[in-house]
């Protein structure tokens, strides 16, 4: 036996039934119940070939487009497509925008594989509406055609172009899941390049550990209704994205990055979130590095479930807090 790796006894947890708790909002309760009725196979399908990946991407994106159309009815905004630094971006302007406010930068989620193109702005619409700010949402390149580091390169290229006309310290950056991980990776990259950093960050349930070592990949497996497990599609997406890079490369898995000098950061997760540990580990690493960071955890919420229940108090809480964070740390 190797002294460096002592034998450690695992816990065995019996099968159980998790009722929908009354401690969540009625809207979140309905979301939880609906997700519990979804056949598990639909959430765990794991593509094995490039053709299967492309099929899955097309199906997810179609769903994303339909959801976006619904979302824009409740949160009216205009969306226009352009390029910035050679990268496709979409500018989202909420109906009641504060014309004097500085813009926000947004990176969409989708495990670095899905929700590119038109559906990429769904969360940007929510962020723009609550913050009453213009949001520039980055349609970064993704696999199968463009694995790492294309997404990080695109993020840095947009940033370089943006700070030619804006004060970096007055720009806030937000994103969920892969979008949260990407904004952390971009900021690590900007630090290494010696470029000015954003004024504030809001990585929500950031995918920070693509190697799947976080404890909540195990403890919240099957508990999270949105992303029930790492094994399968999530692990496959991690490998498809990383390509030739290692899964523990800090620009792939930013939990391994050095956060010293990072801007004030607001991190959000839920108690049922399979990325609860991904979020908590980044938060603790930021605190240890002396970063001004804040952690928000929502009762009974699964991974990014606030976007699945956009009328819920949980959604208003998440984006209300993000808006207030940017108002506090960015000059308007």
CB of 95 to its own copies, least distance (A): 27
249 is a site residue for its own copies (CB under 8 A): no
Give the residue with the Cβ less far from its own copies, 101 or 297.
Answer: 297
Span from 138-146, 153-161, 179-187, 275-283 in contact with its own copies (CB under 8 A):
275-283
CB 126 within 8 A of CB 74: no
Where does 184-313 show beta strands of DSSP type E? Answer: 200-204, 265-270, 293-298
| Distance separating the N- and C-terminal Cα atoms of the chain | 60
298 is a site residue for its own copies (CB under 8 A): yes
295 is a site residue for its own copies (CB under 8 A): yes
CB of 177 to its own copies, least distance (A): 18
Q: Report strand pairing: 135-138 vs 87-94.
A: antiparallel
17 is a site residue for its own copies (CB under 8 A): yes
Q: Which residues of 242-259 are buried (b: 16+ CB within 10 A; e: fewer)?
A: beeeebebbbbbbbbbeb
Q: Report strand pairing: 135-138 vs 104-107.
A: parallel
120 is a site residue for its own copies (CB under 8 A): no
CB of 29 to its own copies, least distance (A): 6
187 is a site residue for its own copies (CB under 8 A): no
In the range 76-95, which residues lie near its own copies by CB under 8 A?
none
Residues 6+ positions from 140 with CB-CB distance below 8 Å: 87, 107, 116, 150, 151, 154, 155, 182
Span from 5-13, 89-97, 144-152, 162-170 in contact with its own copies (CB under 8 A):
5-13
CA distances from 92 to 15, 75, 113, 124, 200 (A): 45, 11, 22, 7, 19
259 is a site residue for its own copies (CB under 8 A): no
CB of 210 to its own copies, least distance (A): 14
72 is a site residue for its own copies (CB under 8 A): no
**# chain residues binding its own copies, by CB under 8 A:** 54
10 is a site residue for its own copies (CB under 8 A): yes
Nearest alpha-carbon partner for 286 in 300, 267, 302, 299: 267
Residue position matching structure tokens 């950031």 = 206
Tokens of 210: 């693509």
Residues at the contact surface with its own copies, assessed by CB under 8 A: 6-24, 29-30, 32-37, 213-216, 218-223, 225, 271-272, 276-277, 280-281, 283-284, 294-300, 317
């Amino acid at each position: 036996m190797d002294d460096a790796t002592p034998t450690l006894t695992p816990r065995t947890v019996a099968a159980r039934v998790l009722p929908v708790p009354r401690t969540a909002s009625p809207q979140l309760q309905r979301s939880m119940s609906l997700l519990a009725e979804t056949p598990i196979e639909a959430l765990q399908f794991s593509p094995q070939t490039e053709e299967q990946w492309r099929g899955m991407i097309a199906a997810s994106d179609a769903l994303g487009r339909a959801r976006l159309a619904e979302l824009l009815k409740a949160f009216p905004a205009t969306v226009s497509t352009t390029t910035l630094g050679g990268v496709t971006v979409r500018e989202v302007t909420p109906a009641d925008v504060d014309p004097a406010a500085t813009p926000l930068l947004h990176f969409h989620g989708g495990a670095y594989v899905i929700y590119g193109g038109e559906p990429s702005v769904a969360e940007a619409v929510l962020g723009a509406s609550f913050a009453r700010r213009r949001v520039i949402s980055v349609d970064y390149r993704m696999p199968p055609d463009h694995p790492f580091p294309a997404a990080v390169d695109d993020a840095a290229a947009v940033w370089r172009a943006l700070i030619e006309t804006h004060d970096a310290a007055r720009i806030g950056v937000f994103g969920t899941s892969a979008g949260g991980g990407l904004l952390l990776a971009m900021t690590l990259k900007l630090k290494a390049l010696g470029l000015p950093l954003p004024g504030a960050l809001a990585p929500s349930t950031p995918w920070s550990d693509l190697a799947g070592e976080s404890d909540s990949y195990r403890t919240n497996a099957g508990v999270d209704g949105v992303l029930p497990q790492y094994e399968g599609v999530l692990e496959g997406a991690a490998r498809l994205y990383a390509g030739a890079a290692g899964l523990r490369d800090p620009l792939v898995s930013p939990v391994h990055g050095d956060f010293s000098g990072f801007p004030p950061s607001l991190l959000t997760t839920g108690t049922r979130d399979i990325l609860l540990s991904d979020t908590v580990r980044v938060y603790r690493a930021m605190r240890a590095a002396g970063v001004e960071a804040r952690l928000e955890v929502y009762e009974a919420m699964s991974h990014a479930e606030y976007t699945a229940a956009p009328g819920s108090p949980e959604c208003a809480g998440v984006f209300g807090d993000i808006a207030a964070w940017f108002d506090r740390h960015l000059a308007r």
